[in-house]
Amino acid sequence: MVKESKFLLFSLGGRFYLCRESLIERIIAIESANMYFAPFGPDWLRYFISYNGMVLPIIKEHEEILCEKMYNVIILKKVFNFVGFLVDYIYKFVNISDDVIEKALNTPVFMAKKAIIYDEKECFLLDIEALLEGRE
């Protein structure tokens, strides 16, 4: 029997990403008025939001004026430090065989190191290290 894992398919900056379901704490929609510019820190640390009595950093590749009223944010679990990132569009959860994930090709981009082909699209696998440590 083929072993599968569940991933969330979303798009960000014109790319498709897959995020392992087990990494996700919550998916929220937040008003731009409740997002605050980070006063210092690396470029990719763009904003802060208030979440459960703490300040949660929001990661984004490029700076932009927050012109939309609401933004979708995926929050990752505390075991990886609570951290969130803005996404453009959330599609659906999909099951992908572990074999396919293991054969992912090295394709480093923002927040990811590897990619697979899913549904005829190049999809980047969200990677915690790339997200937090590889971007300084």
Partner 1 sequence: MYLIFEESGCFFGISVNDIFKIIDLGSLIFRDDKYFFYDMEIRKTLISDIFDLKNRIDQEAKKVVILEHFDSFKPALFVHDVVGFIKEDGKILKKQDFLNLYGYKHVKGFLINNNRLITLIDKKAFLNFGNNGERE
Site residues, partner 1 (CB under 8 A): 33, 36-42, 45, 48, 50, 53-57, 81-82, 132, 136
Rg (CA), the chain: 15
Report the 10 Å Cβ neighbour count for 19. Answer: 25
Instruction: Return the number of the residue (79 or 105) whose C-beta is nearest partner 1.
Output: 79
Least distance between partner 1 and beta carbon 30 (Å): 13
Q: Retrieve residue 15's tokens.
A: 């790319």
CA dist., res. 90 & res. 94, Å (int):
12
Instruction: Return the number of the residue (29 or 79) whose C-beta is nearest partner 1.
Output: 79
CA dist., res. 14 & res. 122, Å (int):
11
Instruction: Return the number of the residue (55 or 70) whose C-beta is nearest partner 1.
Output: 55
Least distance between partner 1 and beta carbon 9 (Å): 27
Least distance between partner 1 and beta carbon 37 (Å): 7
Instruction: Return the number of the residue (18 or 74) whose C-beta is nearest partner 1.
Output: 74
CA-based nearest residue to 73, from 98, 90, 61 = 90
